Amino acid sequence: MLASPTLLAVVAHPDDELSTGGALAKYAAAGARCYVVCATRGDGPDAQIKNEAATRETLGQVRLQELACSCATLGIEAPRCLHYQDGAVVQVPLETAARDVARLIRELQPQIVITHDPGGGYGHPDHIAVSAFTTRAFELAADARVDLSLPPHHPAKLYYFALPRSFREQVPALRDRRAEIGGKVLGFVGVPDEQITTEVDIRDWLERKLAALACHRSQFDFDPATGQPKTFTTSVPEPQRLKLFGYERFVLARAPAGYVLNGIPETHQLAGL
Ligand SMILES: [Zn+2]
């Protein structure tokens, strides 16, 4: 393994960073530099405000503070925001967004880039757009013909978040979850289990991850007994929670030439570097 690896997660909204929050916390504790770039402030017309933590007027600012709290709790670098419009990321031309992210890749020089799966988890158009332009940015950053005022940088691997599709059967709260986005009602889709290549053990980091999730006060109802946010993760009782959510799963989408998955699933995103 590299002495000091760098990981970069590119996400659509504040709280999406928790899709890989356990792995980022785990790698940061082992000496890696871990960055989150968030496309929006999570303050669009479909955003729900769950309590008095924010008003419509303060929402963008509050959500950025909540994201900063989450990253600090995970023990990773302070987040960056692209300030695209929440709910309208797809309106940013793909090439423009890809260049924005490619510039960040050249600046931060990650070996590992992580983003939403191409289906967006539950079909959220912002997630799908972020997945597409981050995938494009992965190529642009390495392309010496592309002038971004910084020398090219070729990350080693690109990963997509992967909540297994089989969780529909195992987690009723996930199966029943609905979100109304742009006038459409969306539900959990997930990634077909057989496409998942990588499973990182974060059992020792799950408490930390839930603490980071609790930073996103304006997004959740809280259980007064435990103080924990009510989410599909906390809907599952222990010890089943550790079994299901004590691992973060990914699809390896790009890897160095000749890199062979050494038994599926891979158990370490930095494997082979
Ligand atoms: Zn999101």
Question: pLDDT digit string (tens) for 178-196?
Answer: 988 888 999 999 999 999 9
Whether the pLDDT of residue 1 is over 60: the answer is no
> Check: CATH 3.40.50.10320 for 6-254?
yes
The per-residue pLDDT for range 27-37, each reduced to its tens digit, is 999 999 999 99
How much distance in Å is there from the Cα of 29 to the middle of ligand 1? 25
Whether the pLDDT of residue 2 is over 70: the answer is no
The per-residue pLDDT for range 194-231, each reduced to its tens digit, is 999 999 999 999 999 999 999 999 999 999 988 889 99
To 5 degrees, how large is the angle CA 89–CA 95–CA 100? 75
Omega within 30 of 0 (cis) for the link into 265: yes
Q: From CA 87, how far away is CA 71, in angstroms rounded?
A: 23
Torsion over CA: 6, 201, 136, 47 (sign): negative
- Which stretch of DSSP H or E encloses residue 11? strand 6-11
Q: What is the pTM of this model?
A: 0.96
Show me where the domains of the chain are located.
6-254
How much distance in Å is there from the Cα of 232 to the middle of ligand 1? 14
Enter the tokens of residue 272.
């082979």
How much distance in Å is there from the Cα of 79 to the middle of ligand 1? 15
How much distance in Å is there from the Cα of 127 to the middle of ligand 1? 6
